[in-house]
Structure 1
Amino acid sequence: MSKSLDPALAAGNRLALAGYDARHFLWEAREGVATLTLNRPTRKNPLTFESYAELRELFIRLKYATDVHAVVITGAGDNFCSGGDVHEIIGPLVDLPAPELLMFTRMTGEVVKALRACPQPVIAAVDGVCAGAGAIIAMASDLRLGTARSKTAFLFNRVGLAGCDMGACALLPRLIGQGRASELLFTGRSLGGEEAERWGFFNRLAAPDALLAEAQALARELVRGPTFANGMTKTMLHQEWSMGIDQAIEAEAQAQALCMATQDFKRAYEAFVAREKPVFRGD
């Protein structure tokens, strides 16, 4: 039995976020799975300055959550996210000076960095329109479930901007290949759901009315697994992009040794010996 965590240490490194009171989207958590719903369906769920900032802060805090072990991101209604709100973001950006424009672009990029840095697997459940920053959020998620009617588009060049937004030029080629990513980022064309699955952008497709349930079921499956080890897998998948093979092998040796020191590893062995299914607890 491990010793109890010192209360002073826990105060700065352990948070309960299942009951988080979201202001600019919906948040619901049950049995370790949180569902984050972008909730402006009449406008196809666009993002605002406020929702960007709240997403950034929430994903930073998730690094310390004790009661959320997987996150599903979805959109209300029949669409995922249409990107930045044309009237509340795009319009004001036209008149901002360069330092404030950089403040905005850094904030949006920090959403992706925080999403990638949190230990929870993040699953995007994508239906309908998934454009601009919405496509980025889906791209940055660890797993993506889509529908045949979904339309994913990296629209930045359509508004006179480069495709290199919020990490797209780094992340997208790793998902679907350099040539295919180049096509999407240069043209801004929509990627249909079936094509997105063939290209590897979506892990699989679901019927629209079953999409959220399937994403949540996948999240629950991950939560029943060794959540500390899952977080380590996510960390290494991200960090090893910038490593050589020898560095990666050493980093994985260190990560795996940490996992071998967990009670979950011991539980798995004892369950195997007893011919039972292990019950993981994330410690």
Structure 2
Amino acid sequence: MNPETFSPKHFLWSFQDGVARVALNRPERKNPLTFESYAELRDMFRELVYVKEVKVVVFGSEGGNFCSGGDVHDIIGPLTKKNMSGLLDFTRMTGDLVKAMRTCPQPIIAAVDGVSVGAGAIISMASDIRYAAPETKTAFLFNRVGLAGCDMGACAILPRIIGHGRASEVLFFGRSFSAQEGLDWGFFNAVMPAEELEAHAMKMAAKLAAGPTFANGITKNQLNMEWSMSIDMAIEAEAQAQAICMQTKDFLRAYDAFAAKEKPAFEGD
């Protein structure tokens, strides 16, 4: 995958100065997902493991909305006609998108405007950092369509972000929460005017891209791994991870810059 020439069929892509921006692009339907866009997003995030030129990903909104979840006509309707094997293929494929987002070493920033529901809320949840516009409405609405809240890792990831009690309420009732509630709960890192959202996300992405990107990848990996570790195991894993980072040229650059009273110029190696 060459980030300069990559041209996906089912979502927008742009790349500049180490920052890739992706966004769903069906604004007339509030950017729903289809079977094809699910699969292409999954494959793209998997490939990013090997694309070192991409240092940060911004998952943006388009036309005033983030994502309205699975398309009612293109996904929900066909699902009602599938057998168990076909349904399991689908639910595993959608879960693989979250796995790919969590596994890729690049930090993912979600810039969430307007509607962010169902699988759209999951994509926001699976990102590393989330910024929202004030009118954003987020809903894990699976319960409202007769499904369990345990979709694409929601029962594992959401309680770790907003707490077990809040996650239980959101998943059992399928109710939406506002941007302010999301900020108060820790789901969103910041809320800002819609006209400033994209610029802020790109500014923070540029800051990450200019940082020690190898070390950032290690941080993301440890955040993932340590969910299932004891404290003793986590401390040992972090000792090994930090020792690896201490062998990087970026660590030496930081020391030399500090000694010279200069700002380090990181290169990700």
The normalised TM-score by structure 2 is 0.99
Give the aligned partner of residue 276 of structure 1. Answer: 262
Give the aligned partner of residue 41 of structure 1. Answer: 27
Give the aligned partner of residue 84 of structure 2. Answer: 98
Identity %: 63
Give the aligned partner of residue 11 of structure 2. Answer: 25
How many pairs were matched up?
A: 269
Structure 1 unaligned runs (5+)?
Answer: 1-14
Report the RMSD for the aligned CA atoms in angstroms.
0.7
Say which SS state the counterpart of residue 175 (structure 2) adopts.
Answer: coil
Q: Is the CA contact (8 Å cut-off) linking 1:197 and 1:203 kept in structure 2? A: yes
Q: Is the CA contact (8 Å cut-off) linking 1:129 and 1:151 kept in structure 2? A: yes
Aligned partner letter, 1:257:
A
The normalised TM-score by structure 1 is 0.94
Pick aligned residue for 1:175 from 139, 158, 161: 161
Give the aligned partner of residue 11 of structure 1. Answer: none
Give the aligned partner of residue 59 of structure 1. Answer: 45
Q: Is the CA contact (8 Å cut-off) linking 1:56 and 1:114 kept in structure 2? A: yes
Aligned partner letter, 2:170:
L
Pick aligned residue for 2:125 from 139, 155, 162: 139
Q: Is residue 197 from structure 1 mapped to residue 177 from structure 2 by the alignment?
A: no
Give the aligned partner of residue 264 of structure 1. Answer: 250
What displacement does 1:215 show?
Answer: 0.3
CA distance in 1, matches of 2:133, 2:253: 38
Say which SS state the counterpart of residue 72 (structure 1) adopts.
Answer: strand
**Distance verdict in 2 for CA 1:18–1:120, change over 3 Å:** farther
Q: Is the CA contact (8 Å cut-off) linking 1:80 and 1:128 kept in structure 2? A: yes
Q: Is residue 250 from structure 1 mapped to residue 236 from structure 2 by the alignment?
A: yes
Superposed structure 1 runs of 4+ greater than 3 Å apart:
none
Deviation per CA, 1:64-119, whole angstroms, max 9, x where unpaired? Answer: 00210000001211110000000000000001000010000000000000000000
CA distance in 2, matches of 1:66, 1:146: 28
Give the aligned partner of residue 144 of structure 2. Answer: 158
CA distance in 1, matches of 2:238, 2:171: 33
CA distance in 2, matches of 1:72, 1:55: 13
Q: Is the CA contact (8 Å cut-off) linking 1:226 and 1:280 kept in structure 2? A: yes
Deviation per CA, 1:232-283, whole angstroms, max 9, x where unpaired? Answer: 0000001000100111011101110110000000000000000000000000
Q: Is residue 208 from structure 1 mapped to residue 189 from structure 2 by the alignment?
A: no
